[in-house]
């Protein structure tokens, strides 16, 4: 990556690190997030940096090496699932009796909610009807919305460039691309996933993409923990692939979310951890990047079932 690209990436990483530092110091997730949302200078700088990083640097890599692109991966999976028989295949596997709209027809559009979109990368696909939202949009085609706080209801309400509410059981696909690691707390990541469960139609797809430049097995324990947590609320992981710089996962909503006790929700939320959660946020970025989850030989062997293109 060029020096300009590294500078932009560091701006993004430093925002994430500062959020973790503040959460580590105070333990008050709500106040940390409210202060962050009110810091428009920081939000605009982050949005501008992420936009430039994605469109001027990652886009070049997408063209020169398409196999590394999270956008290409997501589009390829959506084509498979919604337009070339994947939905029917997984319906047969699960013995589902759900009634599904005429989604398999190529003239039908797949409704997508792209959370933390920044610059609406999926807007280029005519087959997709995309609602792109972000805490601080970089371009006009993305709507402002704090996904953690936005209420859910019977209809999606948009006022100008602001999303005031989102409709439950409305979307065929929800995308969390480089989103969950933005949050300093596992419980915030869990809240996002619970909301996705409510917003998706049955048999809908939750795409989760999270950055990681290490080997596929290095953080296999983390990916397994996420899979276990999401399975408890009716999500089945049906696709996993480790790209050069990211884990890419597709989860299918097999059932409605069960009612959970408070203690069960707390336990499941704790499973949505990332390696950085166990770092002292005051440590240098070099030490943080070296951090990974340790695992036993048995867990390492299990991790090799998560190698690229392993369909579940």
Per DSSP, what are the bridge partners of residue 248?
A: 209, 241
DSSP 48: H
What Rg value do the Cα atoms of the chain yield, rounded? Answer: 19
Long-range contacts of 302-308 (CB under 8 A, 24+ apart): 302/220, 302/224, 303/216, 303/217, 303/220, 303/221, 303/224, 304/217, 304/220, 306/216, 306/217, 306/220, 306/223, 306/224, 306/240, 306/242, 307/216, 307/242, 308/216, 308/241, 308/242, 308/243
Residue 134 annotated as binding? yes
Distance CA 206, CA 235 (A): 8
Name the strand (E) or helix (H) holding 165: strand 162-167
Distance CA 21, CA 131 (A): 32
Distance CA 175, CA 206 (A): 6
Binding-site annotation: residue ranges: 116, 134
Binding-site annotation: residue ranges for S-adenosyl-L-methionine: 116, 134
């Amino acid at each position: 990556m060029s020096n300009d690209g590294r500078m932009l990436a560091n701006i993004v990483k430093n925002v994430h690190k500062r959020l973790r530092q503040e959460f580590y110091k105070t333990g008050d997730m709500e106040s940390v997030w409210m202060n962050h949302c009110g810091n428009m200078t920081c939000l605009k700088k982050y949005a501008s940096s992420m936009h430039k990083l994605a469109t001027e640097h990652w886009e070049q890599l997408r063209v020169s090496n398409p196999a590394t692109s999270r956008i290409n991966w997501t589009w390829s999976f959506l084509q498979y699932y919604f337009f070339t028989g994947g939905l029917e295949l997984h319906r047969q596997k699960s013995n589902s009796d759900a009634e599904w709209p005429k989604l398999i027809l190529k003239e039908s559009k797949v409704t997508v909610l792209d959370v933390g979109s920044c610059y609406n990368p999926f807007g280029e696909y005519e087959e997709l009807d995309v609602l792109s939202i972000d805490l601080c949009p970089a371009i006009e085609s993305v709507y402002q919305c704090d996904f953690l706080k936005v209420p859910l209801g019977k209809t999606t309400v948009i006022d100008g460039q602001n999303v005031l509410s989102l409709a439950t059981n409305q979307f065929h696909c929800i995308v969390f691309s480089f989103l969950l690691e933005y949050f300093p707390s596992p419980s915030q990541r869990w809240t996002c996933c619970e909301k996705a469960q409510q917003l998706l139609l049955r048999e809908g797809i939750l795409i989760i993409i999270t950055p990681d430049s290490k080997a596929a097995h290095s953080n296999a324990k983390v990916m397994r923990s996420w899979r276990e947590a999401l399975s408890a609320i009716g999500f089945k992981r049906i696709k996993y692939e480790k790209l050069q710089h990211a884990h890419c996962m597709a989860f299918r909503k097999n059932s409605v979310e069960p009612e959970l006790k408070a203690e069960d929700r707390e336990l499941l939320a704790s499973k949505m951890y990332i390696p950085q959660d166990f770092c002292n946020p005051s440590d240098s970025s070099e030490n943080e990047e070296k951090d990974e989850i340790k695992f036993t030989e048995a867990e390492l062997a299990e991790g090799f079932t998560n190698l690229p293109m392993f369909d579940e």
